[in-house]
Amino acid sequence: MKIRNRLNPSDPCFSFEFFPPRTDEGEANLLKALEDLATLQPGFVSVTEGAGGSTRAKTVELVLRIKQEAGIEAMAHLTCGGHSPAELRTVLERLSAAKVDNVLVLRGDPPKGQTVFEPAPGGFRYASEMVRFIREEDFNFCLGGACYPEGHVETPSRDDDLRHLKAKVDAGLDFVVTQLFFDNAFYFDFVERARRAGINVPIVPGIMPITNYEQIQRFTRLCGATVPMRLALQLERVKDNPEAMAQLGVAHATVQCMELLSRGVPGIHFYTLNKSPATRMIVSALRARS
């Protein structure tokens, strides 16, 4: 199933993102989260690729397993990092042969210890180059890409970032998924600016339920997402109480999602961090309300 056909404001699609675990314990956690969230019948799930393309083999294995064993539509994240176009072609052939219809095309984060992204020899510098490559080859994937309501961390200006997003979409994207955000005003404003710039593909909001104070501080530092002052004060107040923190995270994300749905988003993508309870509570609350 091509994800672009599931993105529909009158029947929005809930999707879940996972990452390939590094340890046996991590794998057990992932399988438990997957099993638990599968009962919510997601429109699709996606599997990330580690910075610098470091988990490509694991990412592909996990996507194939989810698709074949759990029967859930699974999308592979493929990054420009660490891989040549020839290697990419081999991976795409494998995915295509296994009837994986969807790929999220990314430049990727620089590997640990590096601050600047360096393409592999003969590889791609920007996600748009990889999109163009896939479209020029004889594949029939539905392609997604990333976008940034508050601007990408490296961009000198949001207008530049939007111009580059337009070029990436024009190269052949079918939909885009946003970076996490905690204030819906950034998403609505971004969609308006994107439409004005001629970007007409579905823009799926990406939501991360906050469950851990230090973790959210690290993520927001890395991706530049703003934590609204009121939420920051509430988080500060409950930072030493994990249960209250989880409740606050679920409550905030649920309110965000309710507003997004009421204003006609085509779907919501949840950054699960391989944990199910928060996402399960939010999706259950959203379903109960509709």
Residues in contact with ligand FAD by CB under 6 A are 48-49, 51, 77, 79, 106-109, 126-128, 146, 152, 154-155, 160-161, 164, 168, 177, 179, 206
- Of 95 and 106, CB closest to ligand FAD: 106
- Of 89 and 152, CB closest to ligand FAD: 152
- Of 188 and 239, CB closest to ligand FAD: 188
Minimum CB separation of residue 154 from ligand FAD in Å reads 4
- Of 132 and 280, CB closest to ligand FAD: 132
Minimum CB separation of residue 270 from ligand FAD in Å reads 11
Active site residue 236: no
Choice among 17, 49, 73, 150 that is catalytic: 17
- Of 79 and 274, CB closest to ligand FAD: 79
Rounded distance, CA 126 to CA 32, Å? 35
Minimum CB separation of residue 243 from ligand FAD in Å reads 29
- Residues serving a catalytic function are 17
